[in-house]
Amino acid sequence: MNINIHIVNKARKSFWFVPFLFSLLSLFLALLTFYFDWWLSQHNYPLFPKVLFSNFDLSMTIISTIASSIMTMTTITFSTIMVVLTTFLSQYSPRTLQNFINDRPTQRVLAIFVSGVVYCITLLVLLKDESGQELYISSAFAGIVAIICLFVFVYFVHHVSNWVKVSNLIHNITIKTNKKIDQSYLYRKNAVKEDTPSLHDSLFEEVNPFNVYSEQSGYLQQIDIEGMLKKAFKDRVTIRMVKTPGEYLLEGTLVMTVWTENEETAAKDYLGFLVLGPDKEPMEDIELGIRKLVEIALRAISPAINDPNTAKNCIEEIGIILSKLAKHKLPSSYLSDEENNVRIILEQPTFVDYLYRSFYQLRHYGRHDISIISEILRSLRMIGENNMDETKQMVWTFKDYILEGIDYDSLQNLDMQYLMRHLDELAAACGQGEWDKDEVRNKYFPDEYKTSDSYSQKGRQ
């Protein structure tokens, strides 16, 4: 049952799903149009003015012309999609391809063109001169379909022109990632859990665990936590996940350990809650959205592209995601049932882990650029000023990691002043008050920049 649900969810996210549904609908409409046309002929053509009707030869000419025109627009649409995908692959990140492919407006545009072709071709097959019918209204309906496709094509051109803008792509990734945070089952469940879940140590001491091994190979893309938790509560078992999403599982690899007092419980049934696939990227993963922004920023600051403003935009959006993430109570490694008994044990990242994974590559490759470093500090300031004291302290401590990676020898006097100004703002946002500036200068800055007087001296030189 769970495998079927996963297959359906995966099919819904595929590129062909929406065009397939629209094609089935257009096939049904074509059949309906054909029988409606026949019904009109049997009742002396009521309801519509005669100007909308045409004879067989003219109807076939109109419908065949419309079919070939829509086919041309479909071909152009395919070509445009391939150009956009190539742009995303070369300029941004391979991970951003799925953002455009999974974009519903793009899928609907392609679906409308494909269904328009199916509609017209079906009418061409159904209409016959031997039926004895004098007039047909099918060509008028085909003309309406052509007009709809024409306006949709204009919309698609506008839509693509917006999508290729990197600022819109970055903002789209941020919106979808924030939506995942709001809709995530773990975050919603953990937000209402205030009591500490109870873990029965006697169960681990008295019961021999069942080791569950993978029955196929592939990347672990998703774990259906909600379904697994319900079944674990029903079976009265405790599960410890050995693998995490993103890891590759070989056939026969240990995946989980199950503790249960009921020997009739089939531990292998829990493999049905795991989704394996050929891609490493997990499905519905919050960290994946952050990784996309990081990769776009890294490409932007590379010597081949050299676009630091795009990188700054990405870093700002990362700060927005992390700020929202910090407002939520992060999921615990111990997931409990309705009776507050621990049923699933798995590894969960802390907020410091998210900070590190967001900025460690940007810190390394942007250590020579003061604009990148200052934008990271601005992003940390945004996180600190919008969250609780515990988060403020983590952000203030993390700033030392950023400062340690700066190449101070490549910076100038004004760069140092700019850096200290951002540190002042970060300290105010994190509630540090009068922080020790001299300690930072003595610890990180070169000798000629270690005192405040050296700034003016260096400037006069």
246-259 per-position pLDDT tens digit: 788 888 888 888 88
Whether residue 35 is found in the same domain as residue 157 = yes
Q: Which amino acid, residue 455?
A: Y
Query: Does the residue 397 lie in any domain?
Result: yes
Using the 3D structure, point to which of 221, 244, 277 is the last residue of a domain.
Answer: 277
Q: Answer yes or no: do 244 and 309 share one domain.
A: no
Task: Indicate whether 308 pLDDT > 80.
Answer: yes
In a domain, 201, yes or no: no
Does residue 215 share a domain with residue 72? no
CATH number where 225 lies: 3.90.1170.30
Examine the domain organization and report whether 129 and 236 are in the same domain: no
Residues 399 and 431 in one domain: yes
Q: Is 359 domain-assigned?
A: yes
Grade residue 379 by pLDDT with cuts at 50, 70 and 90: very high
Residues 135 and 213 in one domain: no
Question: Region 340-363: what's the mean pLDDT?
Answer: 87
Are 147 and 219 contained in the same domain? no
Provide the pLDDT confidence category of residue 263 given band limits of 50, 70 and 90. low
pLDDT of residue 150: 92
Least confident range of 21-35, 194-208, 209-223, 335-349 = 194-208
Q: Are strands 237-241 and 342-345 parallel, antiparallel or unpaired?
A: parallel
Nearest to 145 by CA among 118, 124, 125, 127: 118
Q: What is the mean pLDDT of the chain?
A: 81
Mean pLDDT of 197-221: 73
For residue 16, pLDDT over 70 is answered with: yes
Q: Does 204 reside within a domain?
A: no
Given a cut of 70, is residue 38 above it in pLDDT?
A: yes
Q: Is the pLDDT of residue 447 over 80?
A: no
Q: Do 258 and 294 belong to one domain? A: no
Point out the domain boundary residue: 223, 245, 277. 277
Shared-domain flag, residues 68 and 160:
yes
Phi-psi label, residue 431: left if phi above 0, alpha if psi -120 to 50, beta otherwise: left
Domain finish residue from 218, 253, 277: 277
In a domain, 203, yes or no: no
Q: Look at residue 22 and tell me whether its pLDDT is greater than 50.
A: yes
Instruction: Say if residue 216 is in the same domain as residue 236.
Output: yes
Q: Is 254 a member of any domain?
A: yes
Residues 262 and 309 in one domain: no
Residue of higher predicted confidence among 452 and 101: 101
Predicted confidence (pLDDT) at residue 316 exceeds the cutoff of 90: yes
Smallest CA-to-CA distance from 360 within 412, 315, 305 is with: 315
The range of the structural domain enclosing residue 355 comes to 286-321+350-460
Name residues whose C-beta falls within 8 Å of residue 38's C-beta, 6 or more positions apart in sequence. Answer: 131, 133
The residue to which tokens 């079976």 are assigned: 235
For residues 314 and 266, the model is more confident at: 314
The reply to whether 269 and 298 lie within a common domain is: no
What mean pLDDT is predicted for residues 338-357? 84
Phi, psi dihedrals of residue 394, rounded to the nearest 5°: -65, -40
Considering the chain, what percentage of its residues have pLDDT values greater than 70? 86
Please indicate, yes or no, if residue 341 is contained in any of the structural domains.
no
In degrees and rounded to multiples of 5, residue 224 shows phi and psi of: -80, 85
The reply to whether 405 falls in a domain is yes
Position 351 pLDDT exceeds 80: yes
pLDDT at 195: 55
Domain count across the chain: 3
What pLDDT score was predicted for residue 95?
A: 76
- Burial of 97 per CB tally in 10 Å (0-12, 13-18, 19+): middle
